[in-house]
Amino acid sequence: MPAGGKPTVRSRRLGAALRRHRLAAKVDQATAAKAIDYSVTKVSRIETGQVSARVLELRALLDLYGVRDQHERERLEQLARQSNARGWWADYESVGETYADYIALESDATHIKTWETVLIPGILQVPRYVEELLASNPVVVPSSRVQEFIKVRQERQARFRDSGAHLSAIIWEPAITAPLFSAEARMAQLDHLLDIGQQPRYTIRVLPLAAGAAATVSVPFTALSFGSESVIDAVAAENITATMVIEEPHEIAAYSYAFDTLQNAALDPDSTMELIREVKNDIKG
């Protein structure tokens, strides 16, 4: 059983991949169990993420299922090694169970697509912006944990920068233009967006108010891919106190459609940068 008695998001991903390969190979669970000298129950628990396959068990199963793609084998072996590993975020009290699941997904992602309506995406927020955001509802993050929360967010941002992963963010215009924060926080945040927007692994687009109909396609969400950019493997949607991770293919398809709709209606990156510069000038007065 993964640490804490609860399937980790990585063990669930590994189990789902093994089940997919087993079904594709038309192998039943009894045959799979023989290959690793375990019970059918153990195979079922592996496939549901209740336990994680060891690397040697994993290799035996992949051999049985005829999985020859070396990249896929290496990807799954890495998941097997990481399934029960203690994440860097485990040392922080402000990181709850669902937030930890999301950070694990974010750490493994090769491409992230995010849509925000009222706020700047968390992966792009600067400390001053976060401080003022948290001050608006101290029940969510007590004042005693605000600095730790900011530290976690900065660590996420640093690790994302170092990972080589790509980010595509679509932000509704009110999140850029509405005076929800102090002029100092807004200026710092907009400066950061202008800076990050020049980096090749970050694509930032604003959905203008004139294209507001597209904004109704979905609540804010973050879609994550672990291989090809075109294939979304998981979606995270936040509410005020928790993060919900969605892994069902038919649900993911709805978010994939939503992001494509938003992207088609949004400004291109150059026009987005020009709009942000105009908003900065307006704040300066």
Do 179 and 56 share a structural domain? no
- At 230 the pLDDT is 76
Do 129 and 69 share a structural domain? no
- At 249 the pLDDT is 85
Do 113 and 68 share a structural domain? no
CA angle 178, 179, 184 (to 5 degrees): 130
- At 7 the pLDDT is 62
Do 123 and 73 share a structural domain? no
Does any domain span residue 3?
no
- Greatest Cα pair distance, the chain, in angstroms, is 73
Do 118 and 204 share a structural domain? yes
Measured distance CA(166)–CA(34) in Å, rounded: 41
Strand, helix or coil at 202? strand
Does any domain span residue 242?
yes
- At 63 the pLDDT is 95
CATH of the domain at 16: 1.10.260.40
Q: In what order do the strands lie in the sheet with 111-116?
A: 202-207, 166-172, 111-116, 221-225, 234-238, 243-246
Instruction: Encode the chain (285 residues) as per-residue pLDDT tens digits.
Output: 444 445 678 888 899 889 999 999 999 999 999 999 989 999 999 998 888 889 999 999 999 999 998 888 988 998 888 887 788 998 898 888 888 889 999 998 999 999 999 999 999 999 999 999 999 888 888 888 999 999 999 999 999 999 999 999 999 999 999 999 999 999 999 999 999 999 999 999 999 999 988 999 999 999 999 877 778 989 999 877 778 888 888 899 999 999 999 999 999 999 999 999 999 999 987
Domain end (from 53, 83, 113): 83
Domain end (from 23, 54, 83): 83
Do 139 and 207 share a structural domain? yes
In contact, 262 and 117? CB cutoff 8 Å: no
Do 178 and 42 share a structural domain? no
The total of structural domains in the chain comes to 2
- At 6 the pLDDT is 56
Do 113 and 50 share a structural domain? no
Range of the domain at 32: 9-83
Tokens of 283: 């704040």
In contact, 57 and 36? CB cutoff 8 Å: yes
Do 136 and 102 share a structural domain? yes
CATH of the domain at 150: 3.30.870.10
Closest CA to 99 of 248, 244, 247: 244
Do 206 and 70 share a structural domain? no
Q: Which residues of 5-35 are buried (b: 16+ CB within 10 A; e: fewer)?
A: eebbbbbbbbbbbbbebbeeeebebeebbeb
Do 197 and 115 share a structural domain? yes
Does any domain span residue 4?
no
Does any domain span residue 1?
no
Closest CA to 210 of 281, 168, 266: 266
Do 59 and 32 share a structural domain? yes
